[in-house]
Amino acid sequence: MFNRRVVVLAVILLLTVALPSAYAKEKQSISQDQKIKHSGAQENIDQMTNNNMAFLAIQTKVQNISQQTQTASNIAKADSDAKANAVRNVRS
């Protein structure tokens, strides 16, 4: 079903290619939603809040990808174990 190497490579690809662009899109959409500018310290606080929200969105995406990868890995392992047990049963 799924080869573990393929799954790992897919996760690495997602982390190196998809996430930086996802961060940029999240940050841009948050910036566009909040057009009101404040001066001084309030602007810095707003910027930190925007960054935190963007990072939280990315963290959620990474967590979902990780969960999907783990599920696929568990299914592949269960399939492999079932096939190995079937071969052992035939031999005995």
Give the tens place of pLDDT for each residue, 33-80: 555 555 567 788 888 888 888 888 888 888 888 888 888 888 989 989
Task: Say how many domains are in the chain.
Answer: 1
pTM assigned to the model? 0.51
Contact 19, 89 (CB under 8 A): no
In a domain, 37, yes or no: no
Q: What is the mean pLDDT of residues 14-24?
A: 67
Structural domain including 67 reads 1-25+49-86
In a domain, 91, yes or no: no
Q: DSSP character for 92?
A: -
Evaluated on CA atoms 39, 44, 47, 53, the torsion sign reads negative
In a domain, 39, yes or no: no
Higher pLDDT, 81 or 9: 81
In a domain, 40, yes or no: no
